[in-house]
Amino acid sequence: MDMNTKKTLIWDKTIFAQFGKSELKDGLMEWASKHQLDVVWGNSEHPDLIACPCFALVIDRNRIIENQIYSQYLSYIVEVNSDGELNERRDTSICIIIDNIKGLELPSLDMVLQVDINQKNPVKWNLHNLELASRIVAGTSDKHFKATEKAVDKYLKKQK
């Protein structure tokens, strides 16, 4: 029996989703299943957006603006990015925003895409970009794991 013993982190296999468009939801679930990925559905009343480790986010900000979850997420990203040990994660995370809100701050990530869900073929476009992000993540999981270990060690030393 040949077993794959490569370590993978939970974030390598997880997509965080927080939107209500059923066509995209169905497409995302089918695509994730085909690629052996998990989809975690966020609750707009809780800070799931911050708490869920993932390589990709697909969010509709209309669901999280009023209760300040989106502004908390933006602050969290700024804080994480200020710690050089965790900066490597930025290189392999993608945030796909599926709304048409203009003039609202975007997350400080290297890959942020905003798509109007009413455009032509939005489901195909979103899934294509998730495919690209998953390939990037597959090639960098060991590097990310080492950077995360370093950051946790640094944090624990500060706590002593």
Q: What is the CATH number of the domain that holds 51?
A: 3.40.50.2300
Tell me, what's the pLDDT at 39? 94
Tell me, what's the pLDDT at 9? 63
Residue-range definition of the domain harbouring residue 87: 10-159
Tell me, yes or no, whether 77 lies in a domain.
yes
Tell me, what's the pLDDT at 92? 52
Tell me, yes or no, whether 2 lies in a domain.
no
Give the model confidence (pLDDT) of 4-46 as tens digits. Answer: 444 456 667 889 999 988 888 998 999 889 888 899 999 988 8
What's the token pair of residue 52? 């869920």
Measured distance between the N- and C-terminal CA atoms of the chain, rounded to whole angstroms: 46
What's the token pair of residue 47? 């800070």
As a whole number, mean pLDDT of residues 79-84 equals 72
Tell me, yes or no, whether 41 lies in a domain.
yes
Tell me, yes or no, whether 80 lies in a domain.
yes
- The mean-pLDDT minimum among 48-57, 65-74, 107-116, 125-134 falls in 125-134
Tell me, yes or no, whether 4 lies in a domain.
no
Tell me, yes or no, whether 3 lies in a domain.
no
Tell me, what's the pLDDT at 120? 76
The residue among 19 and 108 whose pLDDT is bigger is 19
Q: Is the pLDDT of residue 134 over 80?
A: no
Question: Number of folded domains in the chain?
Answer: 1
* Reported confidence tier of residue 58, pLDDT bands at 50, 70, 90: very high
- 46, HSE (Cβ side, Cα atoms, 13 Å): 6
Tell me, yes or no, whether 109 lies in a domain.
yes
Tell me, what's the pLDDT at 88? 52
- The mean-pLDDT minimum among 38-42, 58-62, 125-129, 149-153 falls in 149-153
- The mean-pLDDT minimum among 3-7, 70-74, 126-130 falls in 3-7
| CB 137, CB 90: distance < 8 Å | no
Tell me, yes or no, whether 1 lies in a domain.
no
